[in-house]
């Protein structure tokens, strides 16, 4: 069992956020969390999935593959959600989608154009 903690990502109204029907989580190291129902062990996410495979099955055209790879640079799909992580420096490689979804700062008003390159329907995760 892993001891890495994750926290459900929330928007500006304290509501859960998702991408293509899966809850978004981020790494958590914010001190005491035993009373926070949003904090969990990473194991709840299940097995990691192949991001390249997911992108291939969820883009409107293969020409956008690199755009989506950059949009999801910090994102890892799992069976039960998405995990957004930072580099060792604590910085995101590309924070646009995470900040947009969570309504953080000025990026909350700037919908990433790359979202238009994803299919509108949910494609199987496997």
Structural domain contains residue 66 = yes
- The answer, yes or no, to whether residue 98 has pLDDT greater than 90, is yes
Give the per-residue pLDDT at 126.
43
In a domain, 126, yes or no: no
Supply 33's token pair: 């969390």
Distances (CA, A) of 38 to 1, 6, 126: 18, 8, 26
pLDDT given at position 43: 86
In total, how many domains does the chain have?
1
Q: In the chain, pLDDT over 90 holds for what percent of residues?
A: 67
* Domain containing residue 99: 5-117
**48 in a structural domain:** yes
Q: Is residue 34 part of a domain?
A: yes
**Does residue 122 lie within any of the structural domains?**
no
- Residue 25 Ramachandran class (φ > 0 left, ψ -120 to 50 alpha, else beta): beta
User: What is the C-alpha separation between 7 and 24, in angstroms, rounded?
Assistant: 9
Q: Is the pLDDT of residue 1 over 50?
A: no
Q: What's residue 58's pLDDT?
A: 93
**Cα(52)–Cα(40) distance, rounded to whole angstroms?**
26
The tokens 């593959």 sit on which residue?
Answer: 65
Check pLDDT > 70 for residue 124: no
């Amino acid at each position: 069992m892993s001891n890495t903690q994750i926290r459900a990502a929330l928007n500006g109204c304290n509501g859960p956020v998702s991408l293509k029907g899966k809850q978004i989580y981020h790494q958590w190291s914010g001190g005491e969390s035993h009373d926070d129902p949003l904090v969990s062990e990473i194991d709840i996410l299940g097995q990691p999935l192949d991001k390249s495979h997911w992108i291939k099955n969820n883009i409107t055209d293969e020409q956008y593959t690199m755009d989506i790879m950059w949009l999801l640079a910090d994102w890892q799909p799992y069976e039960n959600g998405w995990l957004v992580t930072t580099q060792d420096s604590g910085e995101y490689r590309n924070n646009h989608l995470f900040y947009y979804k969570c309504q953080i700062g000025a990026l909350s008003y700037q919908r990433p154009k790359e979202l238009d390159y994803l299919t509108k329907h949910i494609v199987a995760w496997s």
